[in-house]
Structures are given as C-alpha cells and as structure tokens.
Structure 1
Amino acid sequence: MPTPTSLLVVLMYVILFLLFPPRRSRWTWVGAALGIVVLAAAITYPSIKTSQVCEITILDSTVGLDGVVVAPGGERLVFSGARPLWPGQKGGGPGPLPAYLHWRLYRTLDAVVALPLNSRNAPELLALAQEFRVGGFWWRQERQPEGPMVELINLLGDQGKPARSLDRGNPPQALGEVFLAYPSWEGGQAGALEVTYQGRRVLLLPPLRRAALLKLPWPARDRPLAALVAPGDVPAELLKRLNPERLVLFGEPAEGKEFPSCPVFFSRWGAVSLHLAPGSVTVQEWSP
C-alpha cells in the first residue's frame, strides 16, 4: 500500500469524524459518503488514467541518475544509475525513488532498470522490491555483489523474479506505446537507456567515467535527440557531438563548465519532467 499524501490523510480523518460525529444527522452521512467517494477516486485514479504523453522524470538524487518513465497508458519503468564506487568505498542509504513513487500513489512498477547496479543504489532498489509489485528487474553489474546487492538478489529470488542482465536477460523493448533500447559499449561495461515516443528520442546517460562517456557510439546525424539526460560533468566534446535539443543535467555540474546553446535544466534544483507528446516536447521543473 503506498504512503498516502498529507491531503489524503486529512480526508481520512474528516471521513472518520463524519462517521462518528458527536451528534449524528443526515448531513454527516452525506458528507461521509461524499468523502469516501472522493477518497476512492483519488486512490484509483493514478492507476486508470491515460493520456497521450510520455513522461520522463529525473529526480534530485545523491545516488546518481534516478527517475521513472511513465507511458501514455500508465505503464512505468524505473531507472537508476549509480555513481561509480572505488574499491573499498561503501554506498549510502536509500535514495529518493521509494518516497517519490509512494507520493505518486504507484503500487505497481512494470520494470526496474539499473544502469549500473552497485552498493550505492542497491538500498533504494531493495526498498522498491519490498514495497511495490515489480514486474521485473534488469541491471548492468559493476562488480561482484556485496552487502545490499546480495540482499536484493536474494529477495528477488525468493519472490520468484530473479534479476536479469540487461545484455542477456531480454529486457523490455517497449513500455506500452514507448520504445526502449539499452545501448552498451566497452564490452558491456558501459550502457545507457534510450526512450522513443512519437519519433522523439531521449537518451539517458548514467554517471559513467569520462573515458567511457567519450566512447559512446551514437550516430547523432541519424538519431537526433529531443533531449539528453546526462551527469553534470558530462564532457563538452560529447555534448557538441550529440547536439541535443534540450539538456537535463543531474548531480553537480563541473565548475566553469560551458553549456551548449540549447535549453539546460538541472535536477539538483528539483525534479525535472520531460513530457513527450505527439506534437511537442515540454519540460516541467519541480522546484522545492
């Protein structure tokens, strides 16, 4: 059961008050019935509404790249790309994904993709496996499993949904009407997520090392980008080669960094949502 929002909590208390008032009347019954209808609609609406927009939301996260793709039909793919860990370095606590998905009143996640998985993002993916119904987990693994990674792998095995490799485990190629691809290079040690809807393409780059980012095999002329999601220290040479129409940066941008002439958005100032529609691409910034 997702965590209710503060407004839903208030509505629940109002309903309880109307069901058990100090002095009962016809209007208290009417108010309670109306409150129950509104509460039921608020809970069920997120799971049944449809639109013609594909939403890609990038969260403000210390983990690295965190966010969710929501297809027009309501299908959801969660993505997480942890910043690299050096040998001996330990990960942190849960990132923002579980709280954000609860806030959106999601119960089911069609897929979870880790680009890559390490001890930095394993705790929040473990929380997703514990608190949501997940259709499947796919990941690109940096090193031998340890700590929370082992706990996550064991839990998924116990649930009968073992984790699968992005390169060999047949990850989803579509999310409803949205097409997905998982370009990889460097012998499978580096990878990204490509989302395409209505001919508009978005490339999401996890926080890879500079050398790996520069080797990204992307024919920009043949595959123009409506938007690029990249770490704040993405090399300027790569930005020039990809030439995206919009740029969303997560994490801290490099000091003195020069940005391209396209619109630039920063998730460190609040979540950023890309909305891909049949005739347009819009960006919404969620400032705190």
Structure 2
Amino acid sequence: MDFKQLRYFVAVYEEGHVGRAAERLALSQPALSQQIRQLEHNLDVSLFERSNKRLLPTLAAHTLYNHAVPLLDGLQRAREALGNFKGQAVRTLAIGVLQTVHPSLVPQLLEGVRKAQPHLVVQIYELSGLEIERRLLSGVLDIGIGYLPPRQPGLHGVLLYEDELQVVIPTEHPLRAFKRVSLVQAADLQMLLLGEEFQLRQIWQGQLANLGRRPQVQAELNTMAAILDSLPGTALATVLPGRARVVGDDAGLLWKPLSEPRVPLKVGLVFRDAQRQQASVELLQRVLESRA
C-alpha cells in the first residue's frame, strides 16, 4: 500500500463509481480497477461490493477511509510546506564567537558562506569562551571561534590565525611615547578590563600570575566596544587582541604591542565531533583563510 493507492481508493470511495473516480483522477477505468484490486490483495480484505454498477464500501473500506483522509491531508500539507524551499535543502550552522574576535571575522565569514553555500543559514552567537565550550559539549552549537587550545576535554581545535595582546591607552596617557610596553610596565597600569568570566581576562591574569602579580583593575565592562568607547579621556589602559583595532582605531586611542615577553594568542575553530563537523570546519577554513 502506498499513498497513490490510498488516493485512488479515496476517490472511488467518495464517488461510489469507478468511471467517475477514473475521470476525477484522469486515469483509465481498467487501470484504476487494477489498482483497487491490488490494494485489496495487499491488505487481504474486500473493500467494495459490486451492486448494479455501483460500488458499496465494506466495513473495512469505512475504516480505511477514516485513516486514509488524514494521511493524505497531512501529505499535502507537508508538500506545501516543503514547496517553500523550492527544492533546496535548508541547513543551519550555529557558531559561537568570542566578541574579541567578532569584528574581524564575522563579516568575512557571512559573506564567504553566502557565496559558497547560499542556502546555508548561519546563526551567530556572541558568547564568552566558557559558554561557547559549554554549548559545544551540549550540542547547542556546531562550531566555536575562540582561543586555542580548548580548555574542556573532548573538544578539538584548528588554527585560523595568530594574534597577540596589545596595551590600549588614551592619547594623553603617560606611556604615549613608548613604542612597546613591557609586561612589567603593564602590570602596574590601572586597568579597565572585561570581567573575569571572559577568556581574554583569564589569559591576562595568567600572564601576570607568572610574575607574581595581579591586574590593577579600576573598572570592568562587559563588552569590548564599551571599553573602547570609555577609554578616551581617562587615565586607564586595557589589553585587547591586536586585530581588534579594526573597530577601535580611534584617534583618541593608542595601541602598543606588549613585549618582554609577547603574549601570543591563537584563534581557531573549536568543535566536538571531528568527523561530523569536518565539512563545516573545511568550509569555514576556506572562507576565512585570508585571515591567516
């Protein structure tokens, strides 16, 4: 039994006559009769009794009709819904991105994916590194873009590009004439930083801990954009990835590379299931390869 035979059966049941049903279906009478006989054979029941050139439905036919109509209606609704996609398979890719790499990657990612796979719907979530890894492990996200290596067991990483921490200061800051700022100098600066839940903050604290120091935190904000907007006109400094300068290249701010030592950052794709996400990882590598 298939949907075609069910449709033929419903037409015969409702018309009560093979000729009228065949005309309704644009089918020959012999072909329709053969399909009904085949359906009866498959179900091992008699569906109609022949009387005076009319077909009288049996009890089995009444039962089948009550089940067949909702099935055919559901099939039609499914076809109409799928017709909205015009034959294209719509797929989504959920990506969690650190806000400190967001400005330089997301526009290129969206445009690259649009050109490579125009029917792929990309969902971008700006999250902390810890939240990205949590959602990857729970299956809510497909891929993350963050700092490597991943901190949670069971996650894999593929390098996209390397960056490094820089000190960002207002133009009137006492260190404005310095070409570089040492880690020891930066440890003494009064800072406006991201909160402790952010991976960049944790990286910075880890570097200072190697010196036996803690950051001199005067204020915290929860977005990189807010920090960059707030720094001019203060005596505070912050630390951010060098590539974040794409959104913070303001005349009121100076970006100073860190030295003695440098603080390298590795930015990459993070994912849980290497085999399942292989195609998506390769796609994102291709569209973001110019960032290397």
TM-score w.r.t. structure 1 length? Answer: 0.25
Instruction: Point out the structure with max Rg over C-alpha.
Output: 2
TM-score w.r.t. structure 2 length? Answer: 0.25
The structure with more helix, counted as a fraction of residues: 2
Comparing both chains, which one has the higher relative contact order based on Cα–Cα distances under 8 Å and sequence gaps of 6 or more?
A: 2
